[in-house]
């Protein structure tokens, strides 16, 4: 668009080619855009467009770059923002500049802030995910993602938050929006009704907005995830295998006609015997096994695979050693429960999938072990609970069982134990207590699986 700078009449050129700016000049009609500079207040000018809109600006020199900058002041309005108000704004800015303030830098920051505030929730979700998965050096010296469970958080943000709030600006999201989304998840509008998913969504979105409000980002001034209505309590899982179910399960895993890899089935046995979590045991490497043929065999789980990010030294019972040796027999792989695809750990979900089975478009593709053996469905975590229950029935105290489960010990023989004791002062891992519990569980399992075995018919899918 053409621009014309209005000057004094030819013959006697005024300083800076300016005129004394008046309200009447701001209201004039122009055929094309013009700028009129004010002689009375140097630096002030008005830009008028053919539509009749007059806008005030302040032109000054950026001391950092030496270049001229223009600051928007406002649109002319004879009642609320006329020439005198614009001059007052300029005088105030000149005072700030005279006091040493870098007005140009303030403008840059305002421009950057405006750009940030223009980002959508979807955009800051992706930025947050990139931040979470960026590798950083961990306490053990390895480079791993900043938040190692970033993929779970990313899943909740993308699946639950993005479809509903993704197109909004972060500053537009309210507490009511989060509460409504939470209620809809519980009601089943995002699949199976789930209080757990609503809780995970709240945690993920709270982390997102707290991160977005941090200095240097400033996408929002405060998180909307405050004082949300309390969710109903989740019902804890209580599935425990009975002795008959343990017997059927154990012997059923030894059948050759199951459609699941032998090492996957051995890993399921190992979880029942050791009380370890799936993610902790599936990555077992030969270098993490010690004294398998000695009196104190153990398995050291590195902190990067442990939920609480602390090394676990888990004693191995004779039954656990038998499982490990079978998994390694005839194998040249370094991983105990190696994937059929190569010398690498199995996927962390493979055990749950083996128990549950797989479906394609609602139809069973590979039946699960539970269905094939006629057992009521359960998960790998239920095997941990079953082993812990066996230990409790054998008379071991909760503190010793908690150590085997890698849970925080808060009570021993009905006496409270300060958490700082285990966190700071006791690093022995209470190996003797743990070994006694796990040896006891192994002996009880031998008794159970050595009993009268029912004939198990494998129910293959048609």
Ranges of each domain in the chain: 4-103, 121-212, 243-449
Dihedral of CA atoms 75, 79, 82, 85 in degrees, nearest 10, equals: -100
Tell me which residue of 306, 282, 313 sits closest to 431, measured CA to CA: 313
* 3-class secondary-structure state, position 358: strand
Core vs surface per residue 91-110: b (16+ CB within 10 A) or e? eebbeebeeeeebbeebeee
- Which residues neighbour 123 within 8 Å (Cβ) at sequence distance 6 or greater? none
Confidence of residue 17 (pLDDT cuts 50, 70, 90): low
The least confident of 48-57, 99-108, 373-382 is 99-108
> What is the spatial distance between Cα 153 and Cα 8, in angstroms, rounded to a whole number?
65
Q: What pLDDT is attached to residue 426?
A: 41
CATH architecture of 243-449: Orthogonal Bundle (1.10)
Of residues 217 and 89, which shows the higher confidence score? 89
Q: What digits encode the pLDDT tens for the residues 145-173?
A: 999 889 999 999 999 999 999 988 888 89
**Is the per-residue pLDDT at 239 higher than 70?**
yes
Quick one: CA dihedral 146, 152, 153, 155, positive or negative? Answer: positive
Confidence of residue 281 (pLDDT cuts 50, 70, 90): very high
Q: What pLDDT is attached to residue 114?
A: 57
Measure CA of the first residue to CA of the last residue in the chain; give whole Å: 75
Tell me which residue of 31, 29, 88 sits closest to 56, measured CA to CA: 88
Same fold, 4-103 and 243-449: no
**Is the per-residue pLDDT at 116 higher than 90?**
no
Strand partners, 145: 135
Q: What number is the average pLDDT over the span 373-398?
A: 94
Average pLDDT score, the chain: 85
> What is the spatial distance between Cα 393 and Cα 217, in angstroms, rounded to a whole number?
54
Q: What digits encode the pLDDT tens for the residues 80-91?
A: 899 999 999 999
Number of H helices, E strands in the chain: 18, 14
Tell me which residue of 145, 158, 167 sits closest to 201, measured CA to CA: 158
> What is the spatial distance between Cα 5 and Cα 153, in angstroms, rounded to a whole number?
56
The CATH class of 4-103 is: alpha beta
Q: Are 38 and 19 in contact (CB under 8 A)?
A: yes
Confidence of residue 407 (pLDDT cuts 50, 70, 90): confident
Tell me which residue of 273, 181, 262, 175 sits closest to 223, measured CA to CA: 175
Write out the two tokens for 437.
Answer: 């519990």
Q: What pLDDT is attached to residue 348?
A: 83
Q: What pLDDT is attached to residue 96?
A: 84
Q: What pLDDT is attached to residue 317?
A: 95
């Amino acid at each position: 668009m053409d621009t014309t700078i209005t000057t004094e009449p030819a013959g006697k050129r005024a300083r800076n080619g300016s005129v004394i700016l008046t309200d009447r000049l701001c209201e004039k009609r122009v055929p094309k855009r013009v700028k009129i500079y004010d002689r009375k207040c140097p630096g002030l000018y008005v830009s008028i467009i053919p539509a009749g809109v007059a806008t005030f600006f302040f032109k000054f020199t950026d001391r950092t770059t030496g270049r001229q900058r223009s600051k928007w002041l406002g649109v002319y309005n004879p009642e609320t923002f006329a020439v005198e108000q614009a001059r007052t704004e300029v005088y105030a800015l000149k005072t700030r500049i005279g006091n040493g303030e870098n007005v140009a830098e303030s403008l840059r920051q305002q421009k950057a802030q405006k750009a940030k505030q223009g980002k959508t929730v979807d955009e800051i979700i992706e930025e947050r995910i990139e931040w979470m998965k960026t590798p950083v050096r961990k306490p053990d010296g390895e480079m791993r993602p900043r938040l190692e469970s970033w993929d779970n958080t990313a899943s909740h943000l993308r699946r639950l938050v993005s479809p509903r709030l993704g197109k909004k600006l972060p500053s537009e999201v309210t507490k009511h929006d989060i509460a409504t989304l939470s209620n809809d998840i519980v009601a089943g509008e995002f699949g199976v009704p789930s209080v757990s998913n609503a809780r995970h969504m709240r945690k993920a979105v709270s982390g997102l907005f707290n991160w977005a409000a941090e200095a240097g980002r400033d996408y929002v001034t405060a998180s909307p995830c405050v004082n949300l209505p309390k969710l109903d309590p989740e019902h804890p899982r209580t599935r425990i295998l009975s002795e008959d179910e343990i017997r059927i399960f154990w012997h059923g895993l030894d059948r050759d006609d199951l459609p699941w890899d032998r090492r996957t089935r051995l890993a399921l046995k190992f979880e029942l015997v050791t009380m370890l979590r799936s993610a902790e045991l599936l990555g077992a490497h030969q270098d993490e096994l010690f004294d398998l043929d000695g009196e104190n065999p153990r398995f050291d789980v590195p902190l990067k695979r442990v939920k609480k990010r602390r090394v676990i030294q888990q004693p191995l019972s004779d039954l656990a050693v038998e499982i490990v040796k079978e998994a390694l027999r005839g194998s040249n792989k370094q991983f105990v429960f190696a994937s059929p695809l190569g010398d690498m750990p199995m996927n962390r979900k493979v055990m749950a999938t083996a128990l549950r089975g797989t479906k394609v478009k609602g139809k069973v593709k590979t039946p699960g072990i539970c269905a094939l053996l006629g057992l009521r469905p359960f998960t790998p975590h239920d095997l941990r609970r079953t082993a812990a229950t066996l230990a409790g029935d054998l008379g071991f105290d909760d503190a010793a069982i908690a150590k085997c489960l890698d849970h925080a010990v808060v009570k021993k023989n009905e006496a409270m134990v300060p958490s700082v004791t285990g966190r700071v002062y006791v690093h022995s891992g209470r190996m003797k207590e743990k070994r006694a519990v796990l040896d006891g569980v192994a002996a009880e399992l031998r008794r159970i699986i050595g009993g009268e075995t029912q004939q198990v018919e494998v129910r293959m899918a048609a």
